[in-house]
Amino acid sequence: MPGHPQRKVIRADRTLRSVTVVAIAILSLLGVVAVAYTGSFTDRLQTLAAESPEQAATIAANAFKAITALMAVIPLAVGLYLTYVALQAWQAGEFPPPGTRVLRDTVVTVGPRSRTWATIGFIIALLLVTGGILIPVWGWRLANSLVEASRLPAGP
């Protein structure tokens, strides 16, 4: 249309789409393996708990600590990447910033609205990083309280 500026569009990156599909497939496979392994792990823990509740609680607590540490990696990584993208968008005055690879064709927002999106990105990144730090802290405290609760009181 005459009088309207041309809208800038970032075209979808086919390689990024392929990498995303492969990553989702790998994560799904890991999830299936984890679910399959959980049953035998809990069965072994239940058997061990009858013999040594404290040892079973320690093993369960260590497994829980490992899981919470792994769960923290994703929000930390996404939060740090989002911080980087938001900073680039803030500086460039475009969202998504120049050079960003996208999964589908994306219209670029420019001007003050791009800074609004960058600010929202910073806020979400802060929440993700905070969660990525607090998840393991909470998990470790909970696991340690489980071990403490499993200890039998000393006899008279």
Looking at the 3D structure of the chain, how many domains does it have? 1
Q: Domain for residue 42, yes or no?
A: yes
Q: Domain for residue 83, yes or no?
A: yes
Q: Domain for residue 68, yes or no?
A: yes
Range of the domain at 122: 10-150
Which residue(s) pair with 109 in the sheet?
Answer: 95
Largest CA distance in the chain: 93
Eight-state DSSP code of residue 153: P
User: How much is the pLDDT for 5?
Assistant: 62
Q: Domain for residue 24, yes or no?
A: yes
Using the CB atoms, write b or e for 8-38: b if 16+ within 10 Å: eebeeeeeeeeeeeeeeeeeeeeeeeeeeee
| Cβ neighbours of residue 96 closer than 8 Å, sequence gap 6 or more | 10, 85, 89, 102, 106, 108
Residue spans of beta strands (DSSP E) within the chain? 9-10, 94-95, 106-107, 109-110
Is residue 74 packed enough to be buried (19+ CB in 10 Å), middle (13-18) or exposed (0-12)?
A: middle
Q: Domain for residue 156, yes or no?
A: no
Q: Domain for residue 141, yes or no?
A: yes
Q: Domain for residue 19, yes or no?
A: yes
Averages of pLDDT over each 10 residues, the chain, 156 residues: 69 93 95 90 91 88 90 94 96 93 93 94 97 92 84 58
Scan for tokens 């990156």, then name that residue: 13
User: How much is the pLDDT for 153?
Assistant: 61
Q: Domain for residue 32, yes or no?
A: yes
User: How much is the pLDDT for 2?
Assistant: 54
User: How much is the pLDDT for 33?
Assistant: 93
Cβ count near 150 (within 10 Å): 17
- Least Cα distance to 9 among 103, 107, 100 occurs for 107
d(CA 79, CA 87): 12
